[in-house]
Amino acid sequence: MTRQTPQTLTCSLIYALLALAASPGAHAADASRLGAELTPAGAEPGANKDGSIPVWSGNEAQQTGWSFGQLRGDHFKYKADKSTLTIDASNADKYADKLSAGQLALLKQIKGYRMDVYPTRRTCGVPAFVAENTKKNVGTAKLGADGWGLEEAIVPGFPFPMPDNGTEAMWNSKMRYHGVGIDYKNVVTSVSPRKGSSEWIRAGQEFTAYMPWGVKGSTLLSKLPPVEYFAYFAYNSPTALAGQALAISYFLDQPGSETFYYFPGQRRVRRMPTYSYDSPQIGMENQYTLDEPFVFNGTIDRFDWKLAGKKELYVPYNSFGAYNFSARFEDIAKPDFIDPGQRRYELHRVWVIEATVKKGMRHTAPKRTFFLDEDSWNLVLADDYDAQGKLAKVREGFLIPVYETGTCDVSAFVQYNLNEGRYVFDMHAAGTGSDVHWITEPGNNPRMKPGFYTSENLRAISDR
């Protein structure tokens, strides 16, 4: 595994790596830095040395006139930006210090792969109630006795805006505000063809995620169900998967997940206690595991998480191509990679987190490096290494400003399998005819209630 050297990591935020003091007065002093010398999310507000990363100027207002059902990219404030740099195999080494090991491998191994770089736009902020809760979390939020579970926080808000370690940083990513739910009326999990074939896997489905802690306001996490999120999805294609449906609960303080799976051939719901972590997803030809969606998914207990510092990287940012529901799928998802014209890269500061599988545990990717956007705590990039220490998979999350929530989020992502020359494209809207919908108010939506995600309800609504 190629490890980041101290020379490649920026240390401009040394204060963010200092241990939080234990006294209440010190906590109050730390909290006062948020919204002043730090952004409300804990990021460095200033520009970088040469100004290629600009000053964070606060929450970016959306373009006027957007409403759900319209293309998000059409209302992006900087949609007229032009690319200022193209990185491909011919010049990749010149920019290697601003690329991850995985990005460098993609540029060198995949014929025709390129990255178009645009001006950096720091479009990510948070609503006032999230900013206030994040301040209150300094000295309040805490991990559990197990060292990895989240025991307490004031939500919705970032639990650890000035993290001491990688575990706290990962919880910031998991607890970023993206509403109370995300609804996909029509999402297609896509796996590119095997070498020598032209046949894709295209698994159509409806998908809903529900975050009970995402209700607007200010609530102690300990007063809520200990759930990171509930998920439901039901396949409608291809024939081999049509009718299958799942209800999954991911917990804040319990390993694994609680998964119920409906099999139409048996007309029954089965509990699947081992269907988590690096278990291959059914029907995806071993290309896609349960902990790979959204760049990382599920509980974090199997890894030790090292906060390795910060780095300036070219990462997917304000990248709306994957959310273009009116485009043709084939115009966005090419045989070997996502079309370069549908990917936008910008230079941003990212937290670098090195994940190493714990002693006595196993995982198909025992070493991983994750990169978190400093302004939003979204996972925007990951490099996975196999048991031999060889780079095996690369994931990129397509971050966009979300007009419903006033934050940024990563839903759509791509994962490249370097060994097999295939890729996964999921949680996108490309060519589906319907947009991803971020839900900010639960209302009377039955899917915004825990009871929807029980085995009994799964059986009742799954009839094929």
| Residue 4 pLDDT exceeds 90 | no
Residue 90 exposed, middle or buried by CB count within 10 Å (0-12, 13-18, 19+) = exposed
In Å, what is the CA distance from 199 to each residue of 191, 193, 229, 367, 431? Answer: 9, 5, 33, 31, 17
Q: Calculate what percentage of the chain has a pLDDT beyond 70.
A: 92
From 230, 270, 259, 262, select the one nearest 244 (Cα to Cα).
Answer: 262
Q: What is the pLDDT of residues 105-146, one digit of tens each?
A: 999 999 999 999 999 999 999 999 999 999 999 999 999 999
Q: What is the pLDDT of residues 254-276, one digit of tens each?
A: 999 999 999 999 999 999 999 99
Determine contact, residues 270/236, Cβ cutoff 8 Å. Answer: no
- Classify 391 as helix, strand or coil: strand
> Beta-strand (E) ranges in 359-433?
367-373, 379-385, 391-402, 407-417, 422-426
In the beta sheet, which residues pair with residue 85?
117
Phi-psi region of 421 (alpha: psi -120 to 50; beta: other; left: phi over 0): left
Q: What pLDDT, on a 0 to 100 scale, did the predictor assign at position 59?
A: 74
From 337, 338, 404, 398, select the one nearest 373 (Cα to Cα).
Answer: 398
**Helix (H), strand (E) at residue 116:** strand 115-117
Determine contact, residues 392/418, Cβ cutoff 8 Å. Answer: yes
Tally the C-alpha atoms within 13 A of residue 108's C-alpha that lie toward its C-beta. 13
Instruction: Tell me the one-letter amino acid at 451.
Output: G
The model's pTM: 0.93
CATH of 6-461, one of 3.30.70.890, 3.30.2290.10, 2.50.20.10, 3.20.20.70: 2.50.20.10
Q: What is the pLDDT of residues 341-364, one digit of tens each?
A: 999 999 999 999 999 999 999 999
In Å, what is the CA distance from 300 to each residue of 142, 148, 173, 235? Answer: 15, 7, 12, 27
Residue 170 is given by DSSP the state H
Between strands 407-417 and 154-155, the pairing is: unpaired
Between strands 115-117 and 85-87, the pairing is: antiparallel
Q: What pLDDT, on a 0 to 100 scale, did the predictor assign at position 62?
A: 67
Q: What is the pLDDT of residues 237-248, one digit of tens each?
A: 999 999 999 999
151: which 2 tokens? Answer: 């025991």
**Helix (H), strand (E) at residue 172:** helix 166-174
Stretch 1-30: mean pLDDT, rounded? Answer: 45
Nearest-5° Cα angle at 408, 416 to 309? 65
Residue 115 exposed, middle or buried by CB count within 10 Å (0-12, 13-18, 19+) = buried
In the beta sheet, which residues pair with residue 384?
368, 393
From 136, 119, 25, select the one nearest 79 (Cα to Cα).
Answer: 119
Q: What pLDDT, on a 0 to 100 scale, did the predictor assign at position 463?
A: 72
Rounded CA separation 228/214 (Å): 10
Rounded CA separation 192/284 (Å): 10
Which residue in this structure is represented by tokens 């825990």?
Answer: 450
